[in-house]
Amino acid sequence: MQNTITNGKRTLIERKGISAKTLLVIIAAIWLLAMILIGISAPLIAVHDYQQIDLVKRLLPPSWMAGGDADHFFGTDNLGRDNLSRLFYSIRLSLLVAILGTVICAIVGTTIGFVAAHFRGFVDDIIMMLVDFQASLPFMILALAVIAFFESSIVLFIGIMGIYGWERYARFARALALSAEEQGYAVAVRTFGASPVRVYVRHILPNVGNTLLVNMTLNFPKVILMETSLSFLGLGIQPPNTSLGNLVGFGRDYLLTAWWLTIIPAAAIFLTTLSMSILGDWVRDKLDPALK
Partner 1 sequence: MKIESKNQENNILEVENLAKKFVVKKGKMPWQKNQYVNVVNGIDFSIRKGEALGIVGESGCGKSTTAKLIMDIHSPTKGSIVYNSQELNDLKGKEKKKIRKDIQYVFQDPMGALNPRIPVIEQIYEPLIIHYGRDIKNYYKKAVSLLESVGMKESHGKMYPHQLSGGQRQRVVLARAMILEPELLICDEPISALDVSIQSQVVNLLMKIRDERGITLLFISHDLSMVRHLCNRTAVMYMGHIVEYGDNETLFNNPLHPYTRSLINAIPVPDPRIKKDDIILEGEIPSLLDPPSGCKFHPRCPIAGPECSLKQPELKTMPDGRKVACFALKRGDCNE
Q: Which residues bind partner 1 (CB under 8 A)?
A: 183-185, 187-195, 198, 202-203, 206-207
Closest to partner 1 by CB, 48 vs 198, is: 198
Q: In angstroms, give the least distance from the CB of 189 to partner 1.
A: 7
**DSSP category for residue 151:** P
**Looking at 26-165, which runs of residues are DSSP E strands?**
none
Closest to partner 1 by CB, 2 vs 191, is: 191
Residues 6+ apart with CB under 8 A from 150: 156
Closest to partner 1 by CB, 96 vs 194, is: 194
Closest to partner 1 by CB, 171 vs 203, is: 203
Question: Using CA atoms, how far apart are residues 139 and 144, in angstroms rounded to an integer?
Answer: 9
Answer for the pair 128, 67: CB distance below 8 angstroms, yes or no: no
Q: In angstroms, give the least distance from the CB of 173 to partner 1.
A: 17
Q: What share of the chain is helix, strand, coil (3-state, %, to 5)?
A: 75, 0, 25
Q: In angstroms, give the least distance from the CB of 134 to partner 1.
A: 27
Closest to partner 1 by CB, 208 vs 279, is: 208
Question: Using CA atoms, how far apart are residues 197 and 8, in angstroms rounded to an integer?
Answer: 61
Q: In angstroms, give the least distance from the CB of 118 to partner 1.
A: 15
**DSSP category for residue 200:** I
Q: In angstroms, give the least distance from the CB of 111 to partner 1.
A: 20
